[in-house]
Structure formats: C-alpha cells, structure tokens
Amino acid sequence: MEFRHLGRSGLMVSEISYGNWITHGSQVEEEAAVACVRAALDSGITTFDTADVYAGTRAESVLGRALKGERREGLEIFTKVYWPTGPGRNDRGLSRKHIMESIDGSLRRLQTDHVDLYQAHRYDVSTPLEETMEAFADVVHSGKAHYIGVSEWTASQLREAHTLARELRIPLISNQPQYSMLWRVIETEVMPASEELGVGQIVWSPMAQGVLSGKYLPGQPPPAGSRATDEKSGADFIARWLTDDVLTRVQQLKPIAEQAGLTMPQLAVAWVLQNPNVASAIVGASRPEQVHDNVKAAGVKLDAGLLKAIDEIVEPVTERDPAKTESPAQRP
C-alpha cells in the first residue's frame, strides 16, 4: 500500500480507502462485511469511510464492530453528516443541532471517541454557512474530530467555507466528490480551487458504479446479482451508464488494461490516482477477493501514452459539466 497526504495537511491516508456505502448493513450480511474489512486491513488499507445515513445508520455500527480491537492510532476513520437519519425536521441538514447530535451518534456507533475526518455530506442551502462551520469548530475543538471535510461542494462553496475555517482555526482539508474516467466534472473548477486552498480529494465511485469493471456488456441485460439488478445497491444510480455507447467504449479499454498488466477495476482505480490532487480512492466490496484485487492499483504509474489512449476512447461519453458537481440525486 502507498500513502499520501490529505490536502495540505499532515494527515496520511492510504491511496485505497475502504467505503461501505451500499454494502454494510444492507447489501451484504455482517459476516461478509467483516470479512471485507479484514481483507482491507490485511491489504494495508488504513483509511475507512462511512456516513451516518448509510443503511439507516447501520453501516457505521457494522464498521465499528468490524474494527473493534484494532489499534485506533493506526486507523483513519471518516464519517459524514447531512442526509436524514430520523423522521424529525431537525434530523437532517447542517444545523448546529443536527451536527452536534449526529457526531455523538456516529461516535457511539463507531465505538470510538473521535473520528479523524468529519465531513459535510452535501452543502445545506437552508442553514447559514457560519452556523455550520461554527458547529464544526466546536466538534474539532472538543476533540471529537481531528479534521473537517466536505462532499460534492462547488468551488465557490469550498472557498467560502475555507475562509471561515481559517478564521475559526479548524483544518478543512478534504472534498469527497464522484470522480472516474466517465465522470470528470470536478476537473474544471473544483480541483483548481482545491489545489489553491490545500484541499485534497477522496474520490468515490472510481469504477463508475462498477461499469468500468467491464462486466456490463452492450446489447445484453446486466448480469444476475450485479449492482444494476439490485435496488438496494443503487440500480437507479447506475442506470445512466448502461447505454450501448458507453458500454461499447468501456469494452475498448480492455486491451489497454491488459497492456498495463491490470484488471479493468485496477485500471479504473489507478486512473483516478494519477491525479496529484487525489489523495485516496474509495472502493467498496461485497467479497474479500474484490478488496484484494482493487488494492493492486496502489502505486501504479500509467504512462502518458496510455492515459491519452484512455481519453480518446471515453471522451465522447465523458461528463465534464461543472454544474453537475452537486446534485441532490447523488447519495454516496
């Protein structure tokens, strides 16, 4: 495993991080989830990402139990707050009330007294940013989180939050956006702003919800048991990629992966890690062997000719519109 600094901070994270968005507590049984976490640890992964909303808070609980007994100082545990976790009007968003209640709930479920990174899962247009950042400052200053991050925020939102974070003396060091060969909306505005501010990317869905694995074939129904056939696994979310044009171009990446000595999933993960602003790529798994396969993307260097060949294949189906940086439909 290779490690990188997260943004312009001293925090080191594993290039491959383990996330449990649509697996723990919902898609796979706890025994399998724990096996995947063990596989991640055995493979050198030290960075684990979750959120209070995943599986209705159950994902945090599963991760907490899976990591119990591990040396806490040797792990980087990340979680998030924003999406609804209860029926009340204050059980959502980035109000002071919800943040202060949510961090305590997350720590209880994760069985730890602090998280290394506490992230705003989306931008809350209904709460003053000053209120949100002051609450985050209290979380940090109370020792319940070491660093602050955001997820799917625009460049202007990042800049405004970063200014307040400096004033409040808290480290805002990360953004967690969707990023893959097919989804590159952060490259135009968010990444340049992040590089200027010292914010690093922890990217989710580097395999475009599994499409870049190559298992979905043009003109054929999705394989039985795949994410595209499982409503609990985000079947509606993956649907945008299941067009013959996209799937045909993905199949054209196979010779490139073979040339690089990589599997298709490894190529997809290695591709996002070529960007120096990306500190870590989040992978999920329902089976331990998926973890062992994905971690082989760490430390891989793709040469310029290979990167150019990838761009030439996927460019016609790549999404680059920066206006799509944040969307209520995105729920990682």
Question: Minimal CA–CA distance to 121: which of 151, 156, 147, 100?
Answer: 151
- Other Cβ atoms within 10 Å of 66 Cβ, number: 22
| Burial (CB count within 10 angstroms: exposed 0-12, middle 13-18, buried 19+), residue 329 | exposed
Question: Minimal CA–CA distance to 63: which of 93, 26, 92?
Answer: 26
Residue whose pair of structure tokens reads 């009340």 in the numeric block:
88
The bridge status of strand 47-49 relative to strand 16-19 is parallel
Instruction: Please provide residue 173's backbone torsions phi and psi, each rounded to the nearest 5 degrees.
Output: -120, -5
DSSP-assigned beta bridge partners for residue 3: 14
What DSSP element (H or E) covers 36? helix 30-42
Question: Minimal CA–CA distance to 327: which of 239, 210, 237, 200?
Answer: 237
Catalytic (active-site) positions: 54
CB neighbour list of residue 91: distance below 8 Å, 6 or more residues apart: 84, 85, 98
Distance CA 216, CA 226 (A): 9
Gyration radius of the chain over CA positions: 19
| Number of helical (H) and strand (E) elements in the chain, helices listed first | 12, 10
